[in-house]
Chain A
């Protein structure tokens, strides 16, 4: 049976990974018939409608799902395909007691009401017997035409025509339910609800899954995991953020409300039962008991742009001293800089040890687009890379959502290349504005990014000579 999933036109690279992860979660064999990035349609071959309903019960990408009864690359092919459909198997839907309606949609092309009626009339062989009810029909059918990507340059005929019965909707209403505009407690780093729900699906969270976010911040990822019924835990070194005592992020707020807290968010959405706990701790010195495993680790580690990256530690040598008794109670440990490379190494090593077999790690890595190569992504001998979805931030930068799964308990060490983690140093180079608009467009067209060369960096970095000299000296060091 073929099912057409009509998807939202956002976060397109995350679509197929979401379908694959949900099929795997529900033990549905994943058979993709078509799913090109330039159309809103993904067609899966499934064994039953109940499989499609399972996918719909979690899918964030899907707007509607249609059980496909006919399709074609031309009207001729379409009608011949639909005519050969086994209508008699669905006589209970087509009989005179069931009212119906046909939605006609043409993507990229505007069609008039009379043109819509024409489409419906062209299916004179369609054996439906019930009355038409446009307000409250028992059954809804969809007649869809795909006219391509460019509304200004339409082809002479649609690329694809589809017809089928609507069987349900995805979970996009959750995006509104969890909207940050209305959420009690947010911060600078709070994740967009759509992305956090996608992450929870890619992480295969289910009822009772132990989910951890080791850089929990304001808990936005835990909220999504709680919505999908995991039991959620978080850690963060930032005491103030955890206790909701940091500076407010909402425009116009001078002070945080007394009732703002991480738990308040869970209460707001009726998800309290899924809130485990959050712990103020340093990720590099984890407090979790040995042998304890999590099914899913979801996180957005600090990149050093909107938040500081620190861990407990000191540059001084204290090996022969210990903290005097009288200071112990209020001792606040010294912090040192925790580089992105170290964070990712620790994250992969932690996940390889702490995930159950088959458990998933889902995390974001910031990328300078012209430096990116897939081989440079962090790796670990016990974790396999399943998905890698890009979200473009600017012509120079993007971040990639990485999904890894643990397949073995074999001990090993993570490998993280320095080159890919230099994000913080390269992010602030104020270059894009200095390259002329026309040239910028040409460069992006040719390379996919700005292709900033060493000379560009010297030429544009700051106006003063001092800056230029410092940069030249730095580059001389590296060559």
Chain B
């Protein structure tokens, strides 16, 4: 499961949960892979990302150093920023672990990269 996807998930569907976001990560196996960089592609993805949630998730996986503090205004043209965003969003993956609902503490296992 990529950090991009984690950024999109909530446990709101469970009864008695109000927001269910962001989900906490308890990681067991994390993989860093190399994914082809396409600046236009990343530039389109960035507007949909909740940046604070992304930072906290990266921190929980022990990769906080690689991510900038916030999104600069003209991010579409800043190659360095785009490369870093690309790395954090698409190249860091949780293979085995749990996602935890912040309100109910219910755990959702992640096995072989697929959350349940």
Contacts and interface: CB of A to CB of B under 8 A. Distances in A.
Nearest to B108: A287
Nearest to B40: A207
B34 to A, nearest CB: 10
A276 B112 contact: no
Contacts, number: 78
B113 interface: yes
A476 interface: no
A208 B116 contact: no
Interface in A243-294: 243, 261, 263, 272-273, 276-281, 285-290, 292-293
A88 to B, nearest CB: 40
B9 A276 contact: no
B60 to A, nearest CB: 17
B105 to A, nearest CB: 9
Contacts of A292: 8, 48
B9 A288 contact: yes
A289 B114 contact: no
Contact of A277 (B12, B45, B50, B114): B114
B10 A273 contact: no
A272 B35 contact: yes
Given A285-B13, A286-B13, A328-B106, A277 B43 contact: no
Which residue among A229, A278, A287, A329 has the maximum number of chain B CB atoms within 10 Å of its CB? A287
A210 B13 contact: no
Interface in B1-28: 1-2, 4-5, 7-14, 21
B90 interface: yes
Nearest to B109: A329
Nearest to B19: A290
B44 A277 contact: no
A163 interface: no
A231 B116 contact: no
B107 A329 contact: yes
A270 to B, nearest CB: 8
Contacts of B1: 277
Nearest to B7: A289
Contacts of A242: 114
Given A280-B116, A328-B106, A207 B9 contact: no
Contacts of A273: 35-36, 38, 41, 90
Contacts of A85: none
A261 B111 CA distance: 13
B102 interface: no
Contact of A289 (B10, B45, B107): B10
Contacts of B38: 207, 273
B13 A287 contact: yes
Interface in B83-116: 90, 106-107, 111-116
Nearest to B98: A329
Contacts of B14: 285
A233 interface: yes
Contact of B114 (A208, A229, A280, A288): A280
Interface string A292-312: 110000000000000000000
Given A233-B5, A288-B9, A280 B41 contact: no
A239 interface: yes
Contacts of B41: 207-208, 229, 231, 273
Nearest to B53: A289
A285 B115 CA distance: 14
B5 to A, nearest CB: 4
A293 B43 CA distance: 16
B35 A289 contact: no
A261 B113 CA distance: 11
Given A263-B113, A277-B114, A285-B13, A208 B107 contact: no
Contacts of B36: 272-273
A287 B11 contact: yes
Contact of A290 (B2, B10, B107, B115): B10
Contacts of B48: 210, 292-293
A243 B114 contact: yes
Contacts of B5: 233, 276-277, 279
A279 B115 contact: yes
Nearest to A229: B41
Nearest to A287: B9
A229 B40 CA distance: 11
Interface string A120-141: 0000000000000000000000
B90 A289 contact: no
A202 to B, nearest CB: 20
Nearest to B2: A277
A342 B113 CA distance: 30
20 contacts: A207-B40, A207-B41, A208-B41, A231-B41, A243-B112, A261-B112, A263-B113, A273-B38, A273-B90, A276-B4, A276-B5, A277-B1, A277-B2, A277-B5, A279-B114, A287-B9, A289-B8, A289-B9, A289-B12, A293-B48
Interface of B: 1-2, 4-5, 7-14, 21, 35-36, 38, 40-41, 43-45, 48, 50, 90, 106-107, 111-116
Nearest 8 A/B pairs, CB to CB: A208-B44, A285-B13, A277-B5, A289-B10, A280-B116, A273-B36, A287-B9, A208-B41
Given A231-B45, A273-B38, 16 more contacts: A207-B41, A208-B41, A209-B44, A243-B114, A272-B36, A276-B5, A277-B5, A279-B115, A279-B116, A280-B114, A280-B116, A281-B116, A288-B10, A289-B10, A293-B48, A328-B107
